[in-house]
């Protein structure tokens, strides 16, 4: 399969969201125009995005909603379930454990870690907050697919180094720094402060 | 000022993070190499990023930490404070009200909204959860600079249309859809589910 741009993957996720809404409403087919409107793009772009992955839909009839949804889930690797650890039990970390969007799409938060002795051992949303120091041992017994890092920037790189060594291949990073990882490890970044600063920059330079 | 790429703005935010750490540690000067290492980039890129905004630093001496930090805050529009409303008092919305990274950088959450009668009127972290229906009236009396949307995708576009009409020029959107806004309005997106799906895609296609 060709290397697909990150922006394409993102649009595929958006198309899937709309298809799932249509599925719930019992809509059977959808046009590339309708997908485009909801994805903030053009129907030509929709057809191009989908063409990377083979042939879909029929000219004039549009796409079958359940077929396209199922194919997109497959492309995005969403058929399987992923075991997720959240590291950092602050406000955001704790909220993520509750986040229904994760569970719905096969991302199961199985553990929550912190390094604060006052938090370790306390229960949060059914999960006992575990000691970060024990994370390699826990993973060896009970592997995880994805680690979500919600730690201070100063702690993040060392943690990632430890987790990569322990075999973790995917990270969702909330800490405001650029993580260094080997080529076969995937990292996505979410930095709320950085997004707000980009807004601030945008407001200042409109 | 030339139009600056979003990726550059993002790196400027990252450089500022590192400079702030250095300020706290009392470090007086920093090399472009050190900034590059922390930003996951090269010293040539650092010099190029900063060159957009005039002349900084001295060859061989590096950058003055307080000067560069102050200049970056200015470039990013961080001298001033921003009034922020969070719309959607679910787990994530509620956690954002507590998020210290916002307050520290001048983003003051002044109000929290929901449309659930069971939530409206309850107090959360010192903020009374207000009725979404009254948002235009509230803004007319007490303007906001930025709205953070943490609502379902199906509710987001209508809310944004109302807020744009009420004069809001900047949005941080957590809902998984591409918002349509006029050209003079700035939107940044954070979608946790989309990031996890990009990880899933990355794991599947490593």
Among residues of chain A, what percentage have pLDDT more than 70? 96
Q: What is this structure's pTM? A: 0.81
pLDDT at A59: 66
Whether A177 and B14 lie within 8 Å, measured CB to CB:
yes
Rounded distance, CA A14 to CA B156, Å? Answer: 14
Q: Which residues of B touch A106 (CB under 8 A)?
A: 200
| Shortest alpha-carbon distance between residue B32 and chain A (Å) | 16
Q: What is the DSSP-derived secondary structure letter of residue A1?
A: -
C-alpha A168, offset from chain centre: 15
Q: Which of B38, B107, B205 sits opposite A196 (nearest CB)?
A: B107
Task: Retrieve residue A173's tokens.
Answer: 């990073």
Token pair 């720094």: residue: A177
Task: Retrieve residue B139's tokens.
Answer: 């803004």
All structural domains of chain A: 6-75 (1.10.10.10), 82-195 (3.40.50.720)
CA nearest neighbour of B189 among A23, A198, A137, A33: A198
Q: Round the average pLDDT of chain A to a whole number and report it.
A: 88
Interface test with B, best of A12, A199, A203, A206 (most B CBs within 10 A): A199
Strands (E), A103-182: 107-114, 123-124, 127-131, 146-149, 170-173
| pLDDT tens track for B12-61 | 988 998 898 888 888 999 988 888 887 778 889 998 888 877 776 666 67
Query: Helix axis angle, A6-25 relative to A32-39, nearest 10°?
Result: 110
Rg (CA), chain B: 20
pLDDT at B58: 67
pLDDT at A58 over 70: no
Query: Helix axis angle, B6-25 relative to B65-75, nearest 10°?
Result: 140
Residues of B (134-153) whose Cβ lies below 8 Å from A: 145-146, 153
Residue B95: which residues within 8 A CB-CB, separation 6 or more? A91, A92, A94, A95
Rounded distance, CA B65 to CA B86, Å? Answer: 34
A124 reaches B (C-beta below 8 A): no
Query: Mean pLDDT lowest for which of A32-41, A186-195, B67-76, B164-173?
Result: A32-41
pLDDT at A21: 84
Among residues of chain A, what percentage have pLDDT more than 90? 43
Section B170-176 average pLDDT:
91
Q: Residue B183 to residues A38, A206, B169: CA-CA distances in angstroms? A: 18, 9, 10
| Shortest alpha-carbon distance between residue B133 and chain A (Å) | 25
pLDDT at A87 over 90: yes
Shortest CA distance from B17: residue in chain A: A176
Rounded distance, CA B87 to CA B120, Å? Answer: 12
Residue B170: which residues within 8 A CB-CB, separation 6 or more? A199, A202, A203, B145, B146, B147, B185, B186, B187
pLDDT at A111: 95
pLDDT at B184 over 70: yes
Residues B38-64: b if buried by 16+ CB within 10 A, e if exposed? bbebeeebbeebbeebeebbeeeebbb
Bridge partner list, A130: A113
pLDDT at A165 over 90: yes
pLDDT at A159: 96
Rounded distance, CA B20 to CA B27, Å? Answer: 10
pLDDT at A145 over 90: yes
A118 reaches B (C-beta below 8 A): no
Q: Which residues of A touch B41 (CB under 8 A)?
A: 178
The secondary structure of A60-81 as a DSSP string is: TTBEEHHHHHHHHHHHTT-SS-
Q: Compute φ and ψ for B57, nearest 5 degrees.
A: 70, 170
Q: Which of B17, B180, B188 sits opposite A40 (nearest CB)?
A: B180
Q: How confident is the model at residue B104 (pLDDT cuts 50, 70, 90)?
A: confident
The secondary structure of B139-191 as a DSSP string is: HHHS--SEEEE-S-HHHHHHHHHHHHHTT--EEEE-SSS-----TT-EEEE--
pLDDT at B119: 95
Q: Residue B26 to residues A167, B36, B59: CA-CA distances in angstroms? A: 37, 20, 21
pLDDT at A1 over 60: no
Q: How confident is the model at residue A156 (pLDDT cuts 50, 70, 90)?
A: very high
Whether A13 and B193 lie within 8 Å, measured CB to CB:
yes
B178/A118: higher pLDDT? A118
pLDDT at B2: 57
Q: How confident is the model at residue A120 (pLDDT cuts 50, 70, 90)?
A: very high
């Amino acid at each position: 399969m060709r290397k697909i741009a990150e922006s394409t993957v993102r649009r595929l996720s958006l198309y899937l969201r709309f298809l799932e809404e249509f599925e719930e409403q019992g809509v059977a087919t959808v046009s590339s125009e309708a997908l485009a409107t909801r994805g903030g793009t053009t129907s030509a772009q929709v057809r191009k995005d989908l063409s990377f992955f083979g042939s879909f839909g029929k000219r004039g009839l549009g796409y079958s909603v359940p077929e396209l949804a199922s194919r997109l889930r497959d492309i995005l690797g969403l058929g399987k379930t992923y075991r997720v650890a959240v590291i950092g039990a602050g406000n955001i970390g704790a909220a993520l454990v509750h986040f229904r969007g994760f569970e719905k799409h096969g991302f199961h938060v199985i553990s929550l870690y912190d390094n604060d002795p006052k938090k370790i051992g306390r229960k949060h949303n059914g999960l006992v907050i575990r000691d970060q120091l024990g994370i390699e041992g826990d993973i060896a017994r009970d592997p995880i697919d994805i680690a979500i890092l919600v730690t201070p920037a100063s702690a993040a790189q060392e943690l990632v180094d430890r987790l990569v060594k322990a075999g973790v291949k995917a990270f969702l990073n909330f800490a405001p720094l650029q993580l260094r990882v080997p080529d076969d490890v995937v990292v996505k970044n979410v930095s709320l402060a950085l997004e707000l600063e980009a807004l601030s920059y945008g407001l200042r330079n409109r």
